[in-house]
Structure 1
Amino acid sequence: MTLQQLTYLVTVAECGNITEAAEQLFISQPSLSNAIHNLEKEMGVTAFVRSNKGVVVTREGEELLSYARMLLEQADIMKEHFGNEEKRVPKFSVSCQHYSFAVNAFVDVINQYNVEKYSFILRETQTGEIIDDVAQGKSELGILYLSEHNEDVLLKLLKKNELIFEELFVANPHVFISKEHPLAKKESLTIEDLRPYPYLVFEQGERNSFYFSEEFLSVLDFPKNIQVRDRATLFNLAIGLNGFTVSSGVLDQKLNGENIIARPLEMNCKMRIGMVRRKNMLLSRYAKAYIEAIKSLGTEFSGFFS
């Protein structure tokens, strides 16, 4: 097994086609097919099912790909740390719940490494996909929260996928509403205050249970519920329908405008917001910078945290 073979494997999976992957890698199609075949033989797996339309990754191929991505990522980090001054294109990917501070931190990292070329990925996605992305090596880090309601289930899932959770800060739950909302003048809000209004939540797909919910109140029953897929839609509905959602309270008006405000929720619970990463893996300088950026935002918004 070589790093070159692993690169070939990942490229074929991403292209979904041997011919296209060979063109991208600047090698002949027979050479690429032979390299993949030798890797499959050495590992004792069938990574792809071939057809006239291309290739499809098998279940054992997905597992092999997750290790391949991890090894290639670690090799890049080692080269960056121990190698010469050869210029390398910065690469970093993070999967996160729909937090504005996660976007703020991403912006800070890009500004810090303001170079001519870089390849960064920010995935605002469902909770289950965050765990999958990190486990499969698609993202170096994941950002999500734990509470007394979901941590038993999520920590077991993380352990099963050989992932760990590291707490970054603890937040008091806050309600996000429009600045024109009938409740906007109140300094803090209760559950009963919120019942007449639409509760806006992020849809979680097949894993749509409260354990995977991004919203802190999903264990409670509200008469009006609207599921959305992105933060912009949620904010638009908060403005148009006097809807609300519940999150950490960390909201930067520079990126999100002044139409959405946060009000403390009168509830004796905490949100442990942290990062998910693979065990015993070196973090890239960009991942470390991202973590520090989030911690800095934690200091800046210290009034929201315990």
Structure 2
Amino acid sequence: MTLQQLRYVITISETGSLNKAAEFLYVSQPSLTSTVKELEKEIGITIFHRSGKGVSLTSDGAEFLLYARQIYSQYESLLEKYGKNGNLKRKFGVSTQHYSFAVKAFVEMVKSFDTSKYEFAIRETKTKDVINDVSTHKSEIGILYLSDFNQKIIRRLLSTNNLEFHKLVDCKAYVYLWKGHPLAKESSIHFSQLAEYPCLSFEQGDNSSFYFTEEILSTNEYPRTIKACDRATMLNLMIGLNGYTLCSGIICEELNGTDFTTVPFEDDDLNPNSVMEIGYIIRKNTILSHMGSQYIEEIKKFLIANGKETDTRL
């Protein structure tokens, strides 16, 4: 087994195509295929399913990739520190649920660094992918929330993946909608008032547990629901369909625009409010990099500026 073979497998998994991976790696597609087959024969597992639509990881391949990423990441770190080529860029990545404040903090953090010397990445993605990205070293930090409803499952998943959760702030539920919505000027909104409007939520994948939902109060029965994959689409649906979503109330107008507002959710006996414990996840026994520490500080600055009391510990 060689580092080159590991790089090939990682690249194929990221592109989902042997042809695209070969193009990216500057090797011929037959040579790439042959190298992977040799590796599969050596380790005694099938890493990829091959079909006319491309390639996908087998269950054995997904587990193998987890270790391959860790090993190759450590190799890149060694090259970065001890290699002859001093122009290798340091990498920093964040994976997050769809929070505009997380993107805003990332923007402010990146401004402090020379982007010609660093490779930055931010991924607004599904909850399960946030956990997987941090677990596999794809991202140093993940941003997500816990609640009374989901924390038992999420904490178990974090523990299984050798991750730990650090709380940033506690928030109650707000209704997020556009300023032209019929309910936008209400001082608070009851669940019954929302019945005739579509509830918007971020799609978590066909087979994902509803414990991974990003929206608080996900156990409520919503008569109308629409799922979206990205924040821009959700904002368009708010305007076009008078849709709404339930969120933390922490909104960055600089990124989302000034056409939207939040209204406190008014709970009742049948629809109690709940607390969102928003925080970040990292690998256990890990010290944050300089970039990671500054990113968390930028989040805290934004939260404090918006009247949220944060946990001052890193």
Output the TM-score relative to the length of structure 1. 0.81
Match of 2:270 in 1: none
Task: Trace 1:43-58 onto structure 2 (pairs within 5 A).
Answer: 45-48=45-48, 57-58=57-58
**Relative to structure 2, which stretch is displaced further, 1-10 or 212-221?**
1-10
SS of 1:119's partner is: strand
Match of 1:168 in 2: 168
Q: Is the 8 A contact 1:77 1:284 kept in 2?
A: no
Q: Is the 8 A contact 2:217 2:274 kept in 1?
A: no
SS of 2:69's partner is: helix
Match of 1:109 in 2: 109
Q: How many residues align?
A: 306
Query: Using a 3 Å threshold, how does the CA distance of structure 1 residues 49 and 223 change in structure 2: closer, same or farther?
Result: closer
Q: Is the 8 A contact 1:49 1:56 kept in 2?
A: yes
Q: Is the 8 A contact 1:134 1:140 kept in 2?
A: yes
Match of 1:271 in 2: 276
Q: Is the 8 A contact 1:172 1:304 kept in 2?
A: no
Match of 1:149 in 2: 149
Structure 1 CA distance, aligned partners of 2:19 and 2:223?
Answer: 54
**What one-letter code is carried by the residue in structure 2 that aligns with 1:230?**
D
**What one-letter code is carried by the residue in structure 2 that aligns with 1:287?**
G
**What one-letter code is carried by the residue in structure 2 that aligns with 1:231?**
R
Match of 1:280 in 2: 285
Structure 2 CA distance, aligned partners of 1:282 and 1:175?
Answer: 36
Query: Using a 3 Å threshold, how does the CA distance of structure 1 residues 237 and 50 change in structure 2: closer, same or farther?
Result: closer
Q: CA deviation at 1:28?
A: 8.3
Q: CA deviation at 1:43?
A: 5.2
Structure 2 CA distance, aligned partners of 1:131 and 1:262?
Answer: 28
Q: Is the 8 A contact 1:92 1:287 kept in 2?
A: yes
Unaligned runs of 5+ in 2: 268-272
Query: Using a 3 Å threshold, how does the CA distance of structure 1 residues 27 and 192 change in structure 2: closer, same or farther?
Result: closer
Query: Using a 3 Å threshold, how does the CA distance of structure 1 residues 54 and 272 change in structure 2: closer, same or farther?
Result: closer
SS of 1:234's partner is: helix
**Relative to structure 2, which stretch is displaced further, 117-126 or 151-160?**
117-126
Match of 1:200 in 2: 200
Query: Using a 3 Å threshold, how does the CA distance of structure 1 residues 175 and 83 change in structure 2: closer, same or farther?
Result: farther
Structure 2 CA distance, aligned partners of 1:86 and 1:16?
Answer: 31
Match of 1:92 in 2: 92
SS of 1:223's partner is: coil
Q: Is the 8 A contact 1:128 1:207 kept in 2?
A: no
Query: Using a 3 Å threshold, how does the CA distance of structure 1 residues 210 and 5 change in structure 2: closer, same or farther?
Result: closer
Q: CA deviation at 1:290?
A: 2.4
Identity across the alignment (%): 46
Q: CA deviation at 1:246?
A: 0.9
Task: Trace 1:1-306 onto structure 2 (pairs within 5 A).
Answer: 3-14=3-14, 24-25=24-25, 45-48=45-48, 57-77=57-77, 86-116=86-116, 118-207=118-207, 209-267=209-267, 268-281=273-286, 283-303=288-308
Q: Is the 8 A contact 2:216 2:246 kept in 1?
A: yes
Q: CA deviation at 1:10?
A: 2.2
**What one-letter code is carried by the residue in structure 1 that aligns with 2:235?**
F
Q: Is the 8 A contact 1:166 1:276 kept in 2?
A: yes
SS of 2:70's partner is: helix
Structure 1 CA distance, aligned partners of 2:47 and 2:224?
Answer: 46
Q: CA deviation at 1:236?
A: 1.6
**Relative to structure 2, which stretch is displaced further, 242-251 or 8-17?**
8-17
Structure 2 CA distance, aligned partners of 1:192 and 1:18?
Answer: 52
Output the TM-score relative to the length of structure 2. 0.79
Structure 2 CA distance, aligned partners of 1:52 and 1:212?
Answer: 32
**Relative to structure 2, which stretch is displaced further, 277-286 or 91-100?**
277-286
Q: Is the 8 A contact 1:77 1:282 kept in 2?
A: no
Q: CA deviation at 1:69?
A: 1.5
Q: Is the 8 A contact 2:93 2:121 kept in 1?
A: yes
Structure 2 CA distance, aligned partners of 1:196 and 1:31?
Answer: 58
Unaligned runs of 5+ in 1: none
Query: Using a 3 Å threshold, how does the CA distance of structure 1 residues 303 and 181 change in structure 2: closer, same or farther?
Result: farther
Structure 1 CA distance, aligned partners of 2:32 and 2:145?
Answer: 42
Query: Using a 3 Å threshold, how does the CA distance of structure 1 residues 222 and 69 change in structure 2: closer, same or farther?
Result: same
SS of 2:189's partner is: coil
Q: CA deviation at 1:89?
A: 1.7
Q: Is the 8 A contact 1:74 1:281 kept in 2?
A: no
Query: Using a 3 Å threshold, how does the CA distance of structure 1 residues 41 and 186 change in structure 2: closer, same or farther?
Result: same
Query: Using a 3 Å threshold, how does the CA distance of structure 1 residues 34 and 172 change in structure 2: closer, same or farther?
Result: same
Query: Using a 3 Å threshold, how does the CA distance of structure 1 residues 169 and 57 change in structure 2: closer, same or farther?
Result: same
1:213-271 Cα offsets, whole Å, 9 max, x none, are 11112211122222222211211222233221111111111111110111222344210
Structure 1 CA distance, aligned partners of 2:139 and 2:44?
Answer: 26
